[in-house]
């Protein structure tokens, strides 16, 4: 990967981003591109310029703008306005016991990023619907930080129907989220490197309902996420800023 002097982190939820914003004392820059709801924070760490974009609050419903649509729009705005050297999608996810998942476990990956709920049964469109982007090689970073790499699968539902489960199993996903593949599609159009840092809030193949585990463990996972992201940023700064 080329020298990195500027990284932008993309978060879906404010609760996921706040621990890092506080840790690094980032400045609140307000809305990134009004009238869109995305919030913007900036600062630096060990000489590395960093910006954080959070999807913001939906004007109609007053809740976090989770899902693929705001993620894609935010990514394009970030790339057009801030033009970073590296995109980092930081957030929480569902994990899988069968692949070593555990509450609070953090994955670092450059892909592949798949969709599991885009079903287009037309031969020319099937691979397009699945995705499968690989946008950076983070093996050395993962090893240095003691983090596991993995496959991420994205969809717009917190729960999982049988066909989603089949598609997730087909690609062997370690993390199930609602944004990464959409961000990856935009990053690929711009030929911009992307990695994802994902912390597990719930176990998709566990015995407890997903929504209950998510609410119970969001704080714990967000703190683990913040710690991992800070370590990653300091590592990047050491390697890139001379």
Burial class (CB in 10 A: 0-12, 13-18, 19+), 33: middle
pLDDT at 40: 97
pLDDT higher than 90, residue 208: no
Of 126, 202, 205, 215, which one is the catalytic site residue?
202
Of 15, 16, 163, 188, which one is the catalytic site residue?
16
Look at phi and psi of residue 175 and say left if phi exceeds 0, alpha if psi is from -120 to 50, else beta: beta
CB 164 within 8 A of CB 87: no
Tens-place pLDDT, residues 19-46: 999 999 999 999 999 999 999 999 999 9
Q: Catalytic residue at 137?
A: no
Count CB neighbours of 200 within 10 A. 27
Taking Cα atoms as reference points, which of 166, 169, 233 lies closest to residue 197? 233
Rounded to an integer, what distance in angstroms lies between the CA atom of residue 73 and that of residue 82? 14
pLDDT at 241: 58
pLDDT higher than 60, residue 242: no
Q: Domains plus CATH for the chain?
A: 6-237 (3.40.50.1580)
Q: Catalytic residue at 164?
A: no
């Amino acid at each position: 990967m080329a020298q990195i002097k500027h990284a932008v982190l993309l978060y879906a939820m404010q609760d996921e981003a706040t621990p890092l914003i506080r840790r690094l004392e980032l400045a609140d820059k307000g809305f990134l591109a009004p009238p869109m709801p995305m919030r913007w924070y900036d600062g630096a760490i060990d000489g590395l310029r960093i910006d954080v974009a959070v999807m913001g609050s939906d004007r109609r419903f007053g809740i976090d703008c989770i899902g693929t649509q705001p993620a894609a729009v935010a990514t394009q705005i970030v790339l057009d306005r801030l033009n970073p050297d590296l995109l980092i999608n930081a957030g929480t996810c569902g994990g899988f016991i069968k692949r070593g998942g555990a509450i609070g476990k953090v994955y670092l990956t450059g892909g592949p990023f798949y969709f599991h709920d885009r079903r287009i049964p037309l031969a020319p469109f099937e691979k397009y619907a699945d995705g499968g982007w690989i946008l950076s090689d983070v093996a050395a970073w993962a090893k240095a930080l003691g983090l596991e790499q993995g496959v991420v699968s994205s969809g717009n539902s917190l729960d999982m129907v049988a066909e989603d489960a089949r598609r997730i199993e087909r690609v062997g996903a370690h993390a199930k989220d609602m944004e990464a593949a959409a961000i990856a599609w935009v990053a690929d159009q711009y030929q911009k490197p992307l990695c994802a840092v994902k912390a597990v809030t719930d176990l998709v193949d566990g015995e407890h309902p997903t929504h209950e585990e998510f609410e119970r463990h969001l704080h714990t996972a967000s703190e683990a996420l913040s710690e991992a992201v800070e370590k990653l940023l300091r590592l990047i700064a050491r390697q890139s800023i001379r």
